Structure 1
Amino acid sequence: MVRRFIRFLLCLVGAVLIGGALFYYVTAPNPLDEAHWQNLGAADVKNGEQVFWAGGCTSCHAAPGAEGDQKLVLSGGLALKTDFGTFYAPNISPDETAGIGRWTLAEFGNAVKRGVGPQGEHLFPSFPYGSYARMTDKDVNDLYAYMKTLPKSANVAPPHQLSFPYNMRIAVGAWKLFYLNDQPRVALVSPSDKVKRGQYLVEGPGHCGECHTPRDALGGLKNDLWLAGAPNPEGQGRIPGITPGSDKISGWSEADIANYLETGFTPDFDSVGGQMAEVQQNLSHLPKSDLEAIATYLKAIPKH
């Protein structure tokens, strides 16, 4: 009897160890190789600036309340309140100590597209790499070059305030198994080059679905309700749907949408408000052709 119990106990311990090792293996950070980021050619800083505005970097990483040129000082510190706790946007200025000034292109690219930090750690998906994973390597390279031209800041953002188990980075690896990929959010039949460009901007750097798409209990986006509207992640009100069937823009033409993104005015001469005001200000830096591509894509996706 004692021997049987000892055998059982040893088998149980072995199963736990094997299971733990397997879990760690399949959920471990998975950065792209250093070689992946080599031979991309000279960076296009001007394009990097366009990617910067498309990605809305200032919305989270500029100091709260920053205006004008101060928005380009990416000192961090903004509190992002969620059901999982409060995340604080980090300093991503070129400062060598407080920011990302010492990061290599590979470290930057793996943070953006794989959610892996420079020490090989999982980054929390409050940083929307779930969308940025769809960015091209060229755009990442160009963005990296542009961000190195921005002002430095020595500010150190507060640490995240997360309760157990949401503070466990190993759990992020399991989350990535379900939700991190670079595939299109919606399948479009024979899309034109213009629609493809709009899809890239909306689903990739623009990360529009992070706010406009509802999430499941684990915080993953529900792609079957892509851009159908969602509760405000900060707890007040609701983010509207922006599909062809939504109340928000169902009656808008493509020209109306593009003009709204450029000027901030709706077809009935109301002005953009709330959190969308800053998003619109970022997108207004894009060329008109990109705004038109976004509008065309929003008219091409399924209705909800």
Structure 2
Amino acid sequence: MAIRVLIVDDSPSMRAALDRIISRDPDIEVIGHAPEPHAARQMIKELNPDVITLDIEMPGMDGLSFLEKIMRLRPMPVVMCSTLTARGADATIEALRLGAVDCIQKPSGNAQEMAQNAELLCSTIKTAARSTVRPLTAPPARAAATGASFQRDMVVAIGSSTGGVEALFTVIAALPVDAPPVLVVQHMPAAFTGGFAARLNRECQINVVEARDGMPVERGTVYIAPGGESHMEVIGASERRIRLRRSDPVAGHRPSVDVLFHSVAKLGPAAVGVILTGMGSDGAAGLLAMRHAGARTLGQNEATCVVYGMPRAAFEKGAVERELSLSAMPEAILAACRK
């Protein structure tokens, strides 16, 4: 049965363009167009779409405000599709935090770029249709200012993809200021990782930065891998540092969770590996290497994942020591780091 899509965009020409692109895919059916949120609200009630594509800038009510209402009152898979997604990092991150499955740029450019954009749009809609969406909840509770006594040399490595922005807000907001260092690979375009780190830093007790090559790995800091041309690794024994290594994508990703996890596996029992919601299998092999080296390894359970892809792949490989709900994950991480 075809995936039923409602297009919400104030531009008639863009609604027509999106319709043409989406309708070429035999697995997707466009069931309606709405020029603004009020019309979209009525069409959602009448048509019950499987997925909504939603513009950010619209008259009457902007897309983020409408997205928040959807996720509170009638949660469903939403793909933000806007010209702002290429330059409006804050808007994109807010949409993902509110529960949008993904944010992509509206199709534009030459014929080749249009074809690539069309393929991405259709694949994103299909991912959204398979995702698990839940009602928007209150912001995650902030951690206490200080934590328990942690093992001195512990390092935490986290990998995530689709649904990961929302999950990372939950996990990182619960970390105290003196938590062990945390290295994060979230599949995200280069334009967004700096803004994502800054947003987390504003809203969390622990210090959050976008990683730079050569940075010391220090307690009380979360390092977000920059999107783009490099993989992130931890190097060194007594004095650990970040290495950003330029090389080809691994399993289709750069930065890759697998690359980070394989580097952290060298720390043996002085590490904790965490695999969160996401499509595909990136991180499964690296998390298995960590477990074989004596690290503690945790996976987000299916019931709380937006997409149970990466955690499933890791679990089926035998890489996950314990599966946990997202709400239980922060305390499990901290417990694994305590003396």
| TM-score, normalisation: structure 2 | 0.28
More helix by share: 1
Quick check: which has more Rg, 1 or 2?
Answer: 1
| TM-score, normalisation: structure 1 | 0.30
Q: Which has the higher contact order (CA 8 A, sep 6+)?
A: 1
More strand by share: 2
